[in-house]
Amino acid sequence: MKRLLLMICLSLAASACSFPGGEVPNRSVSPATPASSPAIEVAADTALERQVLYYPNDTKYGHKPAGVEEREIVTADGLTLSAWYLPPPAGGDLILYFHGNGGNLTSLGSVVEVFRELGLGVLAVDYRGFGESQGDPSEQGLYLDGLAAFDFARDLGAPIIIFGRSLGGGVATYVASEREAKALILESTFTSAKEVARYSHGEKGALAITAFDNMEWLKEVDEPLFLIHGEEDETVPAFMSEEIHEAAAGSELWMVRGANHNNVRPTAGQEYKNRIEEFLKNLAPADS
């Protein structure tokens, strides 16, 4: 989300809020179907949403950590996604990790290491159009990517913790509303992309963006929820996690003092791992 505000500003100035088509695509998504017979047509986002919400690239930011396996996941509409899989230790949980709107798997090495140190496995996926994954990103498309990743993770046999950071929180929340997991963790995420645009650019911004309505999907989420947010986040304001916390009965909220949108983990240091470990320790065992 780091560049989201600047791009909204530039796009609004250039387009004067005139958007191709003038329609909001149907946001409903059908359950995943076998990739051998793709039956889902994915509606494209508006041109402005495509411009400001996604920054797909195939830049190599780092190396695959030791012990991580490359996997391929096929979506309901027939695309092949790239994924990293770190097997959990015997009896361990699996983090299903959805990253933000930039970067790709090669930027997640340090994230994988944190979860490894916590005794967790990891399945991280590049959305369509990111890294080596096929296709072009869209809201509906990312939801299909999330469902395919969850179903792939479920077949691996370990209890699943869904984790979404920033834009990935929109994918994670949708997936948690459609699938049963052990828990949901959201870091630096939002009530909706529309409200982020309203926060930065008032009603013009809110009219421009309609995607990723976490507050709507949360109505169908039953999993225990842990929210993490930097107090100094100027991209996705911290009050959005507070609003999610108020709306989600029984959820836990940790506001990281001094952290902004992109440095929660290094700012929190060891406490980051401690807080996640404590949350997971208090969870009831996943249903078999």
Phi, psi of 260 (to 5 degrees): -105, -155
* Lowest mean pLDDT across 44-48, 114-118, 170-174, 211-215: 44-48
List pLDDT tens digits, range 46-56: 888 988 899 99
> Could you give the C-alpha distances from 235 to 75, 166, 181, 208, 262, in angstroms and in order?
31, 10, 29, 17, 9
This prediction's pTM: 0.86
In this model, does residue 10 exceed pLDDT 90? no
**Domain covering 4-15+62-281 in this structure, CATH number:** 3.40.50.1820
Q: Which residue has the tokens 């996640």?
A: 276
Mean pLDDT of the residues in the chain: 88
Q: How many CA atoms are closer than 13 Å to the CA of 191, on its beta-carbon side?
A: 19
User: What pLDDT score does 2 carry?
Assistant: 41
Q: Chain centroid to CA 243: how far?
A: 18
State residue 43's pLDDT score.
82
- pLDDT per residue as tens digits for the range 54-105: 999 999 999 999 999 999 999 999 999 999 999 999 999 999 999 999 999 9
Q: Which two tokens stand for residue 112?
A: 């994988």
Q: What is the DSSP string of the chain?
A: -TTHHHHHHHHHHHHTT--SS--PPP---PPP--TTS---PPPPPPHHHHHHH--------S-PPTTPEEEEEE-TTS-EEEEEEEPPPTT--EEEEE--SS--GGG-HHHHHHHHHTT-EEEEEPPTTSTT--S---HHHHHHHHHHHHHHHHHH-S-EEEEEETHHHHHHHHHHHHS--SEEEEES--SBHHHHHHHHHHHHHHHH----BHHHHHTT--S-EEEEEETT-TTTTTHHHHHHHHHSTT-EEEEETT--SS-HHHHHTHHHHHHHHHHHHTSPPPP-
Give percent above pLDDT 70 in the chain.
85
pLDDT at 262 over 90: yes
Q: Tokens at residue 51, please?
A: 């411009």
pLDDT band at 42 (very low <50, low <70, confident <90, very high): confident
The span from the CA of 13 to the CA of 16, in Å, is 6
269 Cβ neighbours under 8 A, 6+ residues apart? none
What percent of the chain has a predicted confidence (pLDDT) above 90? 78
Average pLDDT for residues 155-167, to the nearest whole number? 98
**Beta-ladder partners of 183:** 161
Residue 200 has pLDDT above 90, yes or no: no
Residue 12 has pLDDT above 80, yes or no: no
User: Mind listing the pLDDT tens digit for each residue in 20-34?
Assistant: 222 223 333 434 444
- How far are the Cα atoms of 49, 203, 208, 250 from residue 197, in angstroms, in the given order? 11, 8, 8, 28
CA–CA distance, 42 with 26 (Å, rounded to integer): 10
Question: What distance separates the 2 farthest-apart alpha carbons in the chain?
Answer: 56
Residue that wins the pLDDT comparison between 282 and 32: 282
